[in-house]
């Protein structure tokens, strides 16, 4: 057989956790092969000294809108990520409908940091999303979760109330159809409205739909600070009652007084799995988090949607300030919460901590938050510094916890990406490789497993995530000695080093630091990869 391409002389780390081995890797018709020594190919690349591994799978991404925007998203490509699972934390661009489209577009714009540039949601379902990707292919692959907040908003708006019986049935019906069409599951954002408005019975009924189809229930838990143990127990309880596979998103403990709770948090999860439940976890390997500034407001302030929220912050009362203070301090307080994006309204505030902005405004930090939201609107995003590096290291060092970005596939064009967004959008996977290497936290084959074979297993992917004969040739090639991240919190938009080649379905999409014109990416649909 004459192959399309042979990568010759590299070290193959196949994504199973097995040690690397010196081997040639061939591609033919988008599939992986291991050729004989004298095999021929249309193109032979010398990758001596480089590591050849599966393309990284970002199982927790917020890049839903990327296939619809009028520019090339590229920051994940340069990291070697070839697939993303979008729609996390309860927030997704689907399901949608004509009646609620404007509300859902505003909801996504206010909760997600990716520049939409006026992009309208035109794909109302998983099936429509897949059809769009088939007609307008991207460089990489995109799969979808149904965001519970979006599902709820599409059916009953963004009100703080239980669903009526007919609304509950409608949510179940829509979720069922999305799963039949290939969605990988549903995500909860229990720290955020409107997901947090749902009573336990609603979550359990939707979890039963997921369990029938053996799909994921991912969750941004209700509390990652002082209430983290109760939050873990809540999700374990749902797994026990329904049989659903729960995936705890970005496992962490926030605020120094709560760091001591981590061993008990991990014990609860391990014991749940030991007795036959399925509770998996993922983690971004940073001590800083990122979210919308409006997420620091108490839940009641979001009742009725964005305009109602803005009206509330224009006239802050004692209750609003008091309850905002709790979340604000959990996230790091005046000197631990940094504004990273105002969407161009106040670029002079980007990169500054709330305490610094409060001094400029001549007020206290809580009133400063209200003034920032009033002036800049809901699309203000923050980076918060409230995690313990020791805990982050412990989580990262576990081979059963996937590495994720919790970020976006962004453009490097400063005219498009104007904000100082979290470095995880630009560097997560090279950062993980370099951190494991330099700090001797994990063997290379283990950290690659956490970014390839493990997330593929969690998603139920059969033909991606490992380099085995006949599997799809999504491949990343990097220099194991040189790979590293260059992003910082003040200058995040830096390309990583050491990612040499990236292939999707056997087509070269990154060639020694240059993105090619190939667009082999497609929609990932559960059960059909």
376/392 same-domain check = no
Residues 128 and 239 in one domain: yes
Q: Which two tokens stand for residue 288?
A: 């800083």
124 and 264 inside one domain? yes
Q: Does residue 348 share a domain with residue 275?
A: no
Are 96 and 132 in contact, with CB atoms under 8 Å apart?
no
Q: pLDDT of 307-320, one tens digit each?
A: 888 999 999 999 99
Domain CATH for 183: 3.20.20.140
Question: Among 354, 385, 416, which residue terminates a domain?
Answer: 385
The confidence score (pLDDT) of residue 425 equals: 97
- State whether 355 and 477 are in the same domain: no
HSE (side-chain half, CA atoms, 13 Å) at 54:
32
Q: How far apart are CA 276 and CA 272, in angstroms?
A: 7
Q: Which parts of the chain register pLDDT below 50? A: none
Same domain, 366 and 303: yes
> Tell me, what DSSP letter sits at residue 363?
S
- CA distance readout (Å), 128 to 123, 144, 183, 522: 5, 12, 12, 13
Read off the pLDDT of residues 141-190 as tens digits, 9 standing for 90 and up.
999 999 999 999 999 999 999 999 999 999 999 999 999 999 999 999 99
30 in a domain, yes or no? no
Phi, psi of 388 (to 5 degrees): -95, 125
Burial class (CB in 10 A: 0-12, 13-18, 19+), 486: middle
The reported pLDDT for the residue numbered 265 is 98
Please indicate, yes or no, if residue 243 is contained in any of the structural domains.
yes
Encoded tokens for 16: 């199973």
In a domain? residue 51: no
Number of residues that this document lists for the chain: 529
CA distance 216 to 179: 10
Contact between 153 and 194 under an 8 Å Cβ cutoff? The reply is yes
Judge contact between 500 and 478, C-beta under 8 A. yes
Regarding whether 396 and 377 lie in a shared domain, the answer is: no
Question: Into how many domains does the chain fold?
Answer: 2
ω before 16 within 30° of 0 (cis)? no
Domain final position from 332, 359, 385: 385
Is 13 within the bounds of a domain? no
Residue 420: per-residue pLDDT = 86
What integer pLDDT is reported at residue 529 of this predicted model? Answer: 77
For residues 275 and 313, state if they share a domain.
no
pLDDT of residue 303: 85
> Per-residue DSSP letters for 239-300?
HHHH--EEEESS----SGGGGGGHHHHHHHHHHHHHTT--EEEEE-S-SEEEEEGGGGS-GG
CB burial string 131-141: b at 16+ within 10 A, e below? ebbeeebbbbb
- Token look-up 């340069």 returns 78
**Does 521 map to a domain?**
no
Distance CA 270, CA 29 (A): 42
Residue 369 pLDDT: 96
Contact predicate 57/502, CB 8 Å: no
Q: Is residue 23 part of a domain?
A: no
Alpha-carbon distance 93 to 183, whole Å?
Answer: 13
Q: Which pTM was predicted?
A: 0.95
R_g over Cα of the chain: 22
Same domain, 103 and 206: yes
Do 231 and 180 belong together in one domain?
A: yes
14 domain-assigned: no
Q: What are the DSSP calls for 38-74, one per residue?
A: T-EEEEEEE-TT-EEEEPEEESS---TTGGGSSS---
Q: At CA 236, angle to CA 527 and CA 259, rounded to 5?
A: 115
476 close to 482: Cβ distance less than 8 angstroms: no
Domain span holding position 461: 56-287+387-511
Find, among 495, 496, 343, the residue nearest to 419 by Cα. 343
Could you tell me if 125 and 93 are in contact, meaning their C-beta atoms sit under 8 angstroms apart? no
Alpha-carbon distance 182 to 374, whole Å? Answer: 40
Cβ-in-10-Å burial (0-12, 13-18, 19+) of 348 comes to exposed
Q: Report the C-alpha gap between 196 and 85 in whole angstroms.
A: 22
The predicted pLDDT at position 24 comes to 98
Give the Å distances, CA to CA, from 502 to 24, 437, 510: 16, 21, 5
Interior/surface letters 195-211, b for 16+ CB within 10 angstroms, e for the rest: bbbbeeebbebbbebbb
Domain boundary (328, 355, 385) is at: 385
In a shared domain, residues 116 and 93:
yes
Q: Is residue 505 part of a domain?
A: yes
Query: What is the token pair recorded at 154?
Result: 């599409």
308 in the same domain as 449: no
């Amino acid at each position: 057989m004459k192959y399309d391409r042979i990568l010759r002389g590299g070290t193959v780390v196949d994504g199973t956790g097995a040690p690397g081995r010196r081997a040639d890797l061939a591609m033919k018709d988008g599939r992986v092969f291991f050729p004989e020594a004298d095999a021929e190919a249309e193109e032979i690349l010398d990758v001596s000294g480089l590591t050849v591994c599966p393309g990284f799978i970002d199982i927790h991404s917020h890049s839903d809108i990327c296939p619809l925007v009028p520019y090339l998203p590229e920051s994940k490509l340069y990291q070697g990520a070839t697939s993303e699972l979008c729609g996390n934390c309860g927030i997704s661009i689907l399901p949608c409908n004509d009646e609620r489209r404007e509300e859902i577009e505003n909801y996504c714009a206010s909760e997600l940091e990716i520049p939409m540039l006026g992009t309208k949601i035109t794909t109302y379902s998983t099936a429509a999303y897949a059809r769009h990707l088939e007609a307008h292919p991207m460089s990489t692959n995109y799969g979808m979760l149904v965001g519970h907040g979006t599902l709820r908003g599409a059916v009953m708006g963004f009100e703080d109330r239980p669903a009526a019986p007919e609304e509950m049935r409608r949510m179940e019906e829509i979720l069922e159809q999305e799963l039949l069409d290939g969605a990988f599951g549903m995500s909860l954002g229990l720290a955020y409205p409107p997901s947090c408005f749902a009573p336990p019975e609603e979550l359990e009924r939707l979890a039963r739909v997921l369990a029938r189809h053996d799909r994921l229930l991912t969750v941004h838990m209700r509390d990652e600070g002082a209430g983290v143990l109760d939050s873990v127990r809540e999700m374990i309880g749902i797994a026990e009652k329904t049989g659903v596979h729960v995936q705890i998103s970005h496992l962490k403990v926030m605020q120094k007084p709560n760091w001591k709770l981590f061993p008990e948090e991990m014990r609860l999860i391990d014991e749940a799995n030991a007795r036959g439940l399925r509770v998996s976890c993922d983690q971004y390997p940073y001590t800083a988090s990122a979210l919308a500034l409006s997420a620091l407001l108490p839940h009641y302030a979001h009742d009725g949607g964005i305009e109602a929220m803005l009206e509330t912050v224009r006239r802050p009362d004692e209750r609003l300030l008091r309850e905002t203070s709790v979340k604000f301090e959990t996230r790091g307080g005046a000197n631990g919460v940094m504004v990273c994006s105002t969407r161009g309204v106040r670029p002079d505030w980007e990169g500054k901590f709330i305490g610094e902005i409060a001094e400029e405004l001549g007020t206290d930090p809580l009133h400063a938050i209200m003034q920032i939201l009033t002036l800049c609107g809901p699309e203000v995003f923050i980076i918060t510094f409230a995690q313990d590096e020791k805990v982050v290291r412990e989580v990262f060092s576990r081979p059963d916890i996937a590495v994720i970005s919790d970020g976006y596939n962004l453009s490097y064009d400063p005219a498009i990406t104007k904000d100082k967004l979290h470095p995880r959008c630009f560097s997560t996977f090279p950062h993980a490789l370099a951190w494991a290497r330099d700090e001797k936290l994990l063997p290379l084959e283990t950290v690659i497993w956490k970014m390839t074979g493990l997330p593929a297993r969690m998603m139920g992917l059969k033909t991606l995530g490992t380099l085995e004969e006949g599997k799809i040739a999504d491949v990343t090639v990097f220099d194991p000695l040189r790979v590293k991240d260059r992003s910082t919190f003040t200058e995040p938009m830096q390309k990583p080093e050491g990612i040499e080649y990236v292939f999707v379905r056997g087509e070269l999409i990154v060639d020694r630091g240059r993105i090619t014109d190939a667009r082999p990416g497609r929609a990932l649909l559960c059960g059909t990869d």
